[in-house]
Structure 1
Amino acid sequence: MPRTSSAAKKKTKRSSRECGIAAIDLFCGVGGLTKGLENAGIDVNLGVDIDPACAYPYSENNEAAFLLKSVADLNGRDLVQKVKGADYTLLAGCAPCQPFSTYQQKLGPSDERWHLLGHFGRLAEELDPDFITMENVPNLARQAVFKKFVSKLQSLGFHVTYQVVDCSEFGVPQQRQRLVLLASKLGPIDLVRTELKPKTVRQAIGKLPRIKAGEACASDPLHQASELSDLNMRRMRASVPGGTWRDWDEDLVADCHKRTTGKTYPSVYGRMEWDQPAPTMTTQYFGFGNGRFGHPEQDRAISLREGAILQSFPKSYKFVRKGDPIYCKTIGRLIGNAVPVKLGEAIGKSIVAHVQEHTGPKKRAA
């Protein structure tokens, strides 16, 4: 029997969707939000990002085309053809969060990424979509640039809501606080909340093959753990799930933590707990000393694959071509910056439910 082509598979899958929403994902990264929207039944036709490292994972795992371009250089004409003929259109994205993160207190309006949200608003005006969604760090809601963005959407006729949510409420096995904005021209819209019991570290990664520090799994090269120095291995073995470096013998404690300023950072060099959600995955989650990223049981930091799973990516999600080198800093950055897939799916389901509630028969785009 001949193999079904990739294009045919995409056509078959796409034709089965009935919500009639076509989307464009700005700042798409490796596709966490896109994958979630697709899982909810939304056709994402284009992902845009300036990072060439995103091109392969985005295109390989999602149905959308990938455009390597800065959002600052886009205009509505670049986008309108990608959603032409759709019943409804969605402009989605997560502008780079680093300028607004509490981990980057020194960044501000002088950082060029600070103004990318303004380009998001400009494209919303030029494309004139039916819906908009944006995900970012909670601290963004306190910034003037965000309030200006909301005001612009409202002036364009959007009903806008936003709230800070914990991703663990939506099936992400991770405690991750995020700001979620939804905007609609059909009427008031809100994120549909669920009553899912938070998924634990054990449920997410408990059955992955055992590996050692500095080792990679033969069947999945992304399931690899960073090496540990002799000192950090001693620290790892002295650590207990949910504990801190304060539990260690004095000779293991780093000099910086003995100083007054360092005593307020107890969560670094920690192990995760099996029966709790993971802590927030940062871009450096693969390093034991960068947070509570020690494996609950094995003497190592969590692997690249485990971090992806804790971001709710499917276990089969591909981040590098077969045989290509795997750079921990690059893959860690891509995964840590991603929108958790399950949060993207919750956003997508909320928009689909909103359409079904407010419209009845579909409209036809001009």
Structure 2
Amino acid sequence: MRIVDLFAGSGGFSLGFKRAGCDIVGAWDFEPDAIAVHAANMPCPPQGRIVPFPMRKPRKQRQADLTDLLSAAPTIADMRPDVIVGGPPCQAFSPSGKRLGDADPRAKLTEAFAVCVATARPRHFIMENVPQAQGSRVYRRAMAILRRAGYGISEDIVDMSWYGVGQARQRLIVFGALGEADGWATAYLEGAKATRRTTVRDVLGDSVGSVYFRMGHRSEDRVSFRSADEPGVTLTTTADRKQTGKGGYVVTKSDEQFFLRSDLYFVYPGGSSSCGTSSLDEPASTITRRAGDAPGPSYKPRKGDVLDVHSLPLLSFEQLAQLAGYPVDWNWDPNPAKPLTKASKMLMIANSVPAPFSELCARILLAHSRGEPPASTLPVAIPPGFARWLVEEGAIAQENVSQRMSDARAALRLLNGRKVKSAEDAEHRLHAAPGFEEMGRGRRSNLTTALRLVCRFMEKLDLAEKAKIKAKKAAVVADLMEAQQRHIDEEPTGVFPASFVRLRKKAEPDATADVLWVEAAE
């Protein structure tokens, strides 16, 4: 398969696809350091630089100039890629950033990615971002562009430590395939999921870590570890030994797992709710650009930290790069005469899609393009009330309900997570499902009939839900108009309290045309 990598960074996405046997025919990014690293390790023509906006704190009025990226769309289309992959900048939505959302110029690059895909029309695409991106307007517009271009879209939030990566990196992964139904890739991801998470020890071995002993269930939040080099506490089974002046640590029934050996290290936490103390026997937390920083004098131990975090070893850049999926021989300094700064390299691995996961994604696309079914079958659930509806509608006699329910489950299992648009679409997907044509004529007929009935029932539920939502919105609009009129009667100035903002948001979009609005200053 021919691959184009947009927002390619230092090459994580490309490396995984190359390991799966794919050809990287083009890669673009807007960071010159990242382009240099990518080119030094994975030369592929052409590698271009996209400069969509100044790389500094954006002002509210500044708009992202997408001209450079969109001007590359014809070139990308001429390459005839089978797959376009990319992780548009996530800083607009990331919990560790400013979270300006749609107001951040970088957010619009998600739409630009969609336009490039829709122009080139590869068989597949993959987009990676933080889960919070799903709540943005630009993301919804991008998905609308891709669906109108004919792509079936599968959206999944994954923890990459279940897929061979030594960090608990939670990301939104969007798979697209021309002519497919939505949800088509979820079963492939589920089938590729490991039976246990990948730990730091799995990746780095025993080359790092201080030996500590876990102190069991302590009431104190931060005194849960003690170094092997420190004197141990006195153990006792006598409760009054904990009284003032008598010392000791009481062993209780709740201390069944006390004194577990732990190899600990420090990684600078990415958020205020996490701690820096980490264990080799767990996945690392998501790598951020500060992950390799030492705790400064102002760092205060948090819940889960050892008291003296300064005594814990730090991970080197090379070790952090391995946890990000890069091999030990990856060239991070293409120009030895001018080595890249640690800050620049840390930003690369923090933004990188880990190669073990991208290789897995490549193999999913290869299997799908060959028509191979997923290794896993997703569980199915018949909507509540379906059996009763079958009898009430006269669709089937009571004594045959159990068999019809069984046929419906079998049909949904063949669809395997695909979200169909209509009964006709469902029937088409069922007949194209692996294994369907090998069934006997009677079995095929029974499954098709059962699936049609499920679709009819779902359409009824959908109409009822839409009516409920419409009625709820109408009630909110009525409340808003009544509250507005009441305020006008009482306060003729026409300036409304800030609480109206929340009420109006609930009423949108219905209230937009019907309700005059004056937003009060905070």
Q: Report 1:1-366 matches (<5 A).
A: 21-65=1-45, 66-70=47-51, 72=66, 73-74=68-69, 75=71, 76-83=73-80, 89-188=82-181, 189-191=184-186, 192-193=188-189, 194-196=192-194, 197-208=196-207, 246-247=222-223, 265=272, 267-268=274-275, 270-289=276-295, 299-321=312-334, 322=336, 324-357=338-371
Q: Map Cα deviations across residues 296-323 of structure 1 (whole Å, 9 max, x no partner).
A: 9984321111111111111211111345
Task: Kindly tell me the number of residue pairs found equivalent between the two proteins.
Answer: 294
8 Å CA contact 2:161, 2:199 repeated in 1:
no
Cα separation, partners in 2 of 1:339 and 1:117, compared to 1, 3 Å: same
Q: Map Cα deviations across residues 315-356 of structure 1 (whole Å, 9 max, x no partner).
A: 211111345434221111111111111111111111111100
CA–CA distance in 2 between the matches of 1:187 and 1:155?
12
CA apart distance, 1:140: 0.6
CA–CA distance in 1 between the matches of 2:29 and 2:305?
28
Cα separation, partners in 2 of 1:265 and 1:207, compared to 1, 3 Å: same
Cα separation, partners in 2 of 1:23 and 1:301, compared to 1, 3 Å: same
CA apart distance, 1:98: 0.3
CA–CA distance in 2 between the matches of 1:32 and 1:80?
23
8 Å CA contact 1:200, 1:278 repeated in 2:
yes
Identity rate of aligned residues, in percent? 24
CA RMSD of aligned residues (A): 3.4
CA–CA distance in 2 between the matches of 1:56 and 1:293?
38
CA apart distance, 1:120: 1.0
8 Å CA contact 1:26, 1:91 repeated in 2:
yes
Larger Rg: 2
Of structures 1 and 2, the one scoring higher in RCO (CA 8 A, sep 6+) is 1
Structure 2 unmatched ranges of 5 or more: 53-65, 225-270, 374-522
Q: Map Cα deviations across residues 55-85 of structure 1 (whole Å, 9 max, x no partner).
A: 22101222433211246313322212333xx
Q: Map Cα deviations across residues 173-192 of structure 1 (whole Å, 9 max, x no partner).
A: 11110000011114243052
Q: What letter matches 1:284 in structure 2?
A: R
Q: TM-score, normalised by structure 1?
A: 0.72
Cα separation, partners in 2 of 1:342 and 1:297, compared to 1, 3 Å: farther
8 Å CA contact 1:163, 1:179 repeated in 2:
yes
CA–CA distance in 2 between the matches of 1:142 and 1:200?
31
8 Å CA contact 1:239, 1:245 repeated in 2:
no
CA–CA distance in 1 between the matches of 2:153 and 2:310?
45
Provide the secondary structure at the position in 1 that maps to 2:48: strand
Moved more, 309-318 or 297-306: 297-306
Q: Map Cα deviations across residues 141-191 of structure 1 (whole Å, 9 max, x no partner).
A: 121211111111111111111110000111001111000001111424305
Q: TM-score, normalised by structure 2?
A: 0.51
8 Å CA contact 2:102, 2:138 repeated in 1:
no
Cα separation, partners in 2 of 1:107 and 1:63, compared to 1, 3 Å: same
Cα separation, partners in 2 of 1:246 and 1:315, compared to 1, 3 Å: same
8 Å CA contact 1:237, 1:299 repeated in 2:
no
Provide the secondary structure at the position in 2 that maps to 1:275: coil
CA–CA distance in 1 between the matches of 2:353 and 2:172?
11
